[in-house]
Amino acid sequence: MSDHDHEEHGSDNEPKKGKQGSGKRLNDRQRVDIIQMAENSKISKRQLADKFGVSEAAIRKLLLKKDEFLRRYYDTPEELRDQRLRGKSTRLSVHEDSCGLNGSAVSNELDWIGFSRMLRDIRRAFHRYPETGYQEFRTQAFIKRFCEQALHIPGKNIHEMASTGLIVDVCYENGTISPSDKRKLPVLAFRADMDALPIEELNHHLPYCSTQKKGQKELRKRKKRKSSMQPSSPKKTQEEGDEAAPSDKNGVASAGTCDVTLDVNMDSPATNLLPEPSTVTTTTIGAPPVSSTGGDDDDEFQISTAAAHMCGHDGHMVMVLGLCAMVVRSAHLLPQDTFVRFLFQPAEEGPGGAMKMIEDGALTDVDEVYGLHNAPFPLYSVHVRPGAVMAHEVEFSIDIHGIGGHGSAPQQCVDPILAGSAVVQALQSVVSRSLSPMDTAVVSVTQFRGGDANNVIPSRVFLGGTIRDFDLQIAEKIKDRVAKLVHSTCSAYGATANVHFLDGYAPVINPHVETRQVQQIAMDMGMYVSEEGLPLMAAEDFSYFLQERKGCYFFLGTKEDGDPEKMRALHSNHFDFNDKAIPLGIRLFMGILQSRFKCELYSAEEMQAFQLAMERIMINVTVV
């Protein structure tokens, strides 16, 4: 603390007059005190001005810009915080001491407000810069750098796998993991999916709306052709090739009003949340600037398709990342004969990254694995049950071959459209007449294509559809019945058919014991626990983790009263993750960890303080 600041603190004991135009300057600690007093009590701006010896206008200005000030404050190293910022602009770079994450920090208490703001801002950065399956290069780089530099996790405990996935291990005192065949306690893993959906977000009112829009490639090509008539330089600079990306005077890509961007270079003084093009050799992600590293005719790096986090995977990543940060901070309280693994899995939406993670060793040494998914159930509710919670998926395609001809002479043809229509009707009997009423399954024909002209009977039609079930044996029975019905029906009409099946993800089956433990932990937290709405007919590749290890997969409600239906509906292009659910997910995971390890890293009061802190910073958020 500077001498000037000591003088200011010393003057706090003297009578103060809050006069307009007062030249007194507040230090950072006083500003934080003012903000907290204004939020937690009914004290007026006039009283605050009198108490701190400044003008009422200065108090009003501080409270209007409190979010901007607090972001800068929590970015400042601990030893410099009590110095006045003097108007210097600092971008949030998530230093470990800024939120008390480092065990050597001055404060023994975690600053829940600062920690909540950090998690919220990282979540919105993930949302703003989405990446689809096996393209999560910058997301992976950010998480890895965060763990290395902000959390000081040893590099030997961090491993890339499944191309763009990541596993992070944390053990006692945040040391290096040592191999052991005699662990007294189970090794726990917590999984987050990373990928976005290839759809365009329509939440244009959000300052952190996805930057990756459909058609950006075509727009840039037109600009390129127009500029190609001018002399071209051997290589494009980032500024020349990316007009869509506003930058500040230091050349840092602007994130609009988003508080943080995907920084993969945290040790730099000014954090640019986008790596230089040379650091990512192939990418389709949408955080402009995205430019080619080649010449003017090289545009394979340009964005061509939309991407958006319309399934909440941005929130899932932040929950596991926040859990990791909290475990690291209290790593000295972990048992010495086990460790925690954090799984960041790519390509859940397809083609399926879980199996690749397993093949690359993600579950080596792991005894139990846990995961969750947000759902449009009420906020503060957990929906989970033993047994099947998500379905097995099978896609089928049917090619029916007949004899085409003129529409005026059907007697000379074998009409595949007529045969196909009969097949569609016959398939409706599979579930109702071939399965027990106790078995749950769905068979849906979703495609029927054939013919190009109104006066021509085609020689071939195509049918496609999906099968959903919760038992692989039932699935085999359904496939056998579908094939027999197709062939016999087509034969009755003189046509032939080829039937193909493509198995998707296996059903998610929760073990009984672990699921009951999760239910109890959620109830102890005061959350509403229900089995309502389960199982879901959607598919999820977390099933492969549960085929290999014990664990549990559950659903966390995010919908509040007054939320538009489309706002919390998964895969809607108006979806946005509810940040109030972030501490709920972390608390559930922490409860599982503490229960299985029989230790206490954080008390129930601390966890409740975390929840209240997140809700406090979300109070002024409005839905447009």
Per-residue pLDDT reduced to its tens digit, 522-550: 999 999 999 999 999 999 999 999 999 99
To the nearest whole number, what is the mean pLDDT of the chain?
Answer: 81
Backbone angles phi, psi at 569, to 5 degrees: -80, 120
Alpha-carbon gap, residue 414 to 419, rounded angstroms: 9
> Other C-beta atoms within 10 Å of 121: how many?
22
Which pLDDT band holds residue 215 (cuts at 50, 70, 90)?
low
Q: In this model, does residue 75 exceed pLDDT 80?
A: no
Q: In this model, does residue 278 exceed pLDDT 60?
A: no
Which pLDDT band holds residue 230 (cuts at 50, 70, 90)?
very low
For residue 539, give both structure tokens. Answer: 């598919």
Average pLDDT over residues 425-450: 97
Q: Which helix (H) or strand (E) holds 463?
A: strand 460-469
Would you kindly state where each structural domain of the chain is located, as residue ranges?
Answer: 3-111, 392-503
Least confident of 6-15, 356-365, 417-426, 459-468: 6-15
Residue 396's SS3 state is: strand
> Residue 178's pLDDT is what?
82
Alpha-carbon gap, residue 117 to 115, rounded angstroms: 5
Looking at per-residue pLDDT, the higher value among 175 and 92 belongs to 175
Average pLDDT over residues 440-469: 97
Q: In this model, does residue 259 exceed pLDDT 80?
A: no
> Residue 549's pLDDT is what?
98
Q: How far is CA 406 from CA 58, 362, 415, 459, in A?
A: 85, 60, 11, 11
Q: What are the helix and strand counts (H, E) for the chain?
A: 19, 16
Looking at per-residue pLDDT, the higher value among 236 and 350 belongs to 350
Average pLDDT over residues 438-458: 97
Least confident of 4-18, 264-278, 294-308: 264-278
Which pLDDT band holds residue 46 (cuts at 50, 70, 90)?
confident
Average pLDDT over residues 155-159: 97
Average pLDDT over residues 86-99: 37
> Residue 555's pLDDT is what?
99
Which pLDDT band holds residue 229 (cuts at 50, 70, 90)?
very low
100: left (phi over 0), alpha (psi -120 to 50) or beta: left
Which pLDDT band holds residue 385 (cuts at 50, 70, 90)?
very high
> Residue 305's pLDDT is what?
85
> What share of the chain in percent tops pLDDT 90?
64
Average pLDDT over residues 279-290: 32
Which pLDDT band holds residue 109 (cuts at 50, 70, 90)?
low
Which pLDDT band holds residue 82 (cuts at 50, 70, 90)?
very low
Q: In this model, does residue 439 exceed pLDDT 80?
A: yes
Q: In this model, does residue 316 exceed pLDDT 60?
A: yes
Sequence-distant (≥ 6) Cβ neighbours of residue 39 within 8 angstroms: 616
pLDDT digits (tens, 9 = 90+) for 4-18: 444 444 444 444 444
Alpha-carbon gap, residue 329 to 317, rounded angstroms: 18
For residue 30, give both structure tokens. Answer: 């006083």
> Residue 114's pLDDT is what?
92
Amino acid code (one letter) for 226: K
> Residue 76's pLDDT is what?
54
Average pLDDT over residues 139-158: 96
Q: How far is CA 589 from CA 119, 358, 577, in A?
A: 16, 21, 18
Sequence-distant (≥ 6) Cβ neighbours of residue 151 within 8 angstroms: 96, 101, 174, 324, 325, 328
Taking a C-beta distance cutoff of 8 angstroms, is the pair 66, 113 a contact?
no
CATH architecture designation of domain 392-503: 2-Layer Sandwich (3.30)
> Residue 252's pLDDT is what?
28
Alpha-carbon gap, residue 287 to 276, rounded angstroms: 12
> Residue 576's pLDDT is what?
98
Q: In this model, does residue 85 exceed pLDDT 70?
A: no
Which pLDDT band holds residue 441 (cuts at 50, 70, 90)?
very high
Looking at per-residue pLDDT, the higher value among 59 and 400 belongs to 400
With tokens 């846990």, the residue in question is 370
